[in-house]
Amino acid sequence: MPLASAEGYVRQVLGWREYMWHLYWHFGSGYLRRNALRAHAPLPDWWTSLDADAVTAACLRSALEGVRDRGWTHHIPRLMLLGNHALQRGYQPRALSDWFREAFVDGFEWVMPTNVIGMSQHADGGMLATKPYAAGGAYINRMSDHCGHCVYDPKKRLGDDACPFTAGYWAWVHRHRELLAANNRRPGRWRRCGGSRTSTPCWTRSRGGRCSDGALPPVHRAHGTHFARRAGCRTARWLSHTGRAVAQRAVLAYLLGGG
Ligand code: SF4
Measured by CA distance, the residue closest to atom 1 of ligand 1 is 154
144 shares a domain with 216: yes
Among 60, 64, 140, the mutation site with the greatest number of ligand 1 atoms within 8 A of its Cβ is: 140
CB atoms within 10 A of CB 47: 28
Among 163, 170, 203, 213, the mutation site with the greatest number of ligand 1 atoms within 8 A of its Cβ is: 163
Measured by CA distance, the residue closest to atom 8 of ligand 1 is 59
166 shares a domain with 68: no
> Is 215 within the bounds of a domain?
yes
> Is 152 within the bounds of a domain?
yes
What is the atom index within ligand 1 of the atom nearest the CA of 153? 1
241 shares a domain with 188: yes
152 shares a domain with 116: no
User: Domain limits at 50?
Assistant: 13-27+34-120
What residues of the chain score a pLDDT lower than 70? 184-259
CATH of the domain at 84: 1.10.579.10
Number of domain units in the chain: 2
Measured by CA distance, the residue closest to atom 6 of ligand 1 is 147
pLDDT at 234: 36
C-beta of residue 134 within 8 angstroms of C-beta of residue 183: no
* Per-residue burial over 85-98, b = 16 or more CB atoms within 10 Å of its CB, e = otherwise: bbbbbbbbbbbbbb
C-beta of residue 136 within 8 angstroms of C-beta of residue 143: no
For residue 162, the Cα-to-chain-centroid distance in whole angstroms is 17
151 shares a domain with 188: yes
> Is 96 within the bounds of a domain?
yes
Among 61, 82, 144, 147, the mutation site with the greatest number of ligand 1 atoms within 8 A of its Cβ is: 147
pLDDT at 186: 57
Question: What residues are in contact with ligand 1 under a 6 Å CB criterion?
Answer: 57-59, 137, 140-141, 146-147, 150, 152, 154, 163-165
pLDDT at 1: 87
> Is 130 within the bounds of a domain?
no
143 shares a domain with 115: no
191 shares a domain with 151: yes
